[in-house]
Amino acid sequence: MVSALDGIKYTYSVILLCVSIVLIIGLIFNRQTGLSSQAGPWAALALLLGAIGWLTMVEGGQGSLVGLVPVDMDLYKDTHKVSYKSTVITNKGDNLDRYLMGRQFMVVLIVFCVNLSGAPIGGASLWGLPNWFITIFFGVGAAMVLFTCMVGQLASQVNGCHCMLDYINNYFAVFTLYVAMVIEFSGLLHASYVVQMLVGAAAGQKIESKEEPRNAAQNIFFFGRCMISLAILAFALAVTLKALFDGNTSMWKGVPAWASVVLFFVLMSVVGLLEGMQIAFFAVAKVTKEERGSAKFAKMTCDLLFKGKGRNLPGFMIGRQLCVVFCMFVVARVTSLNIAPGQGNNIFGVTDGFQAFLNLGFMGALITTILGSISWQLVASAFPIAFLSNPLVYVFLRICLGLEGTGLLNGAWVLAAIQAKVCGFQRDEVYIGTAEERAEKQKGDGESDVGPGHPRKIPAFMDSAPAELKALMEENPDVAEFVQSVHEGADAEAK
Tell me the chain's radius of gyration from C-alpha atoms: 26
Please tell me the predicted confidence (pLDDT) of residue 75: 82
Give long-range contacts, CB 8 A cutoff, 24+ apart: 138-145. Answer: 138/23, 138/27, 141/329, 142/16, 142/20, 143/19, 143/20, 143/23, 143/24, 144/20, 144/24, 144/114, 144/115, 144/118, 144/119, 145/325, 145/329
Residues 6+ positions from 153 with CB-CB distance below 8 Å = 55, 56, 59, 321
Please tell me the predicted confidence (pLDDT) of residue 473: 53
Best CA proximity match to 299, nearest among 389, 175, 360, 372: 389
pLDDT tens over the chain, length 495 residues: 567 777 888 888 888 889 889 988 988 888 887 778 778 889 889 988 998 889 888 888 887 887 787 777 888 888 888 888 888 888 888 888 788 888 877 887 787 778 778 878 767 777 888 888 888 788 777 888 888 888 888 888 878 877 888 888 889 989 999 999 998 888 888 888 887 777 767 666 666 777 788 888 988 998 999 999 999 889 888 888 888 887 777 666 677 777 878 888 888 888 888 888 877 877 776 666 666 666 677 777 777 777 766 677 777 877 887 787 777 767 766 777 777 777 777 887 788 788 877 776 677 777 877 877 777 777 777 777 777 788 888 888 888 888 877 877 888 888 888 888 888 888 877 777 766 667 666 666 554 444 433 444 445 545 555 555 555 555 555 555 555 554 555 454 444
d(CA 353, CA 38): 19
Please tell me the predicted confidence (pLDDT) of residue 493: 45
Is 261 exposed, middle or buried, given 0-12, 13-18 or 19+ CB atoms closer than 10 A?
middle
DSSP 42-102: HHHHHHHHHHHHHHHHHHHHHHHHHHTTTS-GGGTTTT-HHHHHHHHHHTSTTHHHHHHHH
Q: Classify the C-alpha dihedral 66-67-71-75 as positive or negative.
A: negative
* 410: Cα separation from own chain's centroid: 20
Please tell me the predicted confidence (pLDDT) of residue 203: 60
Please tell me the predicted confidence (pLDDT) of residue 494: 45
What letters, b where the CB count within 10 A reaches 16 and e where it falls short, cover 445-457? Answer: eeeeebeeeeebb
Task: Report which secondary-structure segment, H or E, holds 11.
Answer: helix 4-29
DSSP 301-350: HHHHHT-TTSTHHHHHHHHHHHHHHHHHHHHHHHH-B---TTSS--GGG-
Describe the crossing of helices 95-118 and 375-382 by its angle, rounded to 10 degrees: 150
d(CA 339, CA 268): 23
Q: Within a 10 A sphere around the Cβ of 179, how many other Cβ atoms?
A: 15
- 138 with 124: CB under 8 angstroms? yes
Q: Within a 10 A sphere around the Cβ of 286, how many other Cβ atoms?
A: 20
What are the counts of helices (DSSP H) followed by strands (DSSP E) for the chain? 25, 0
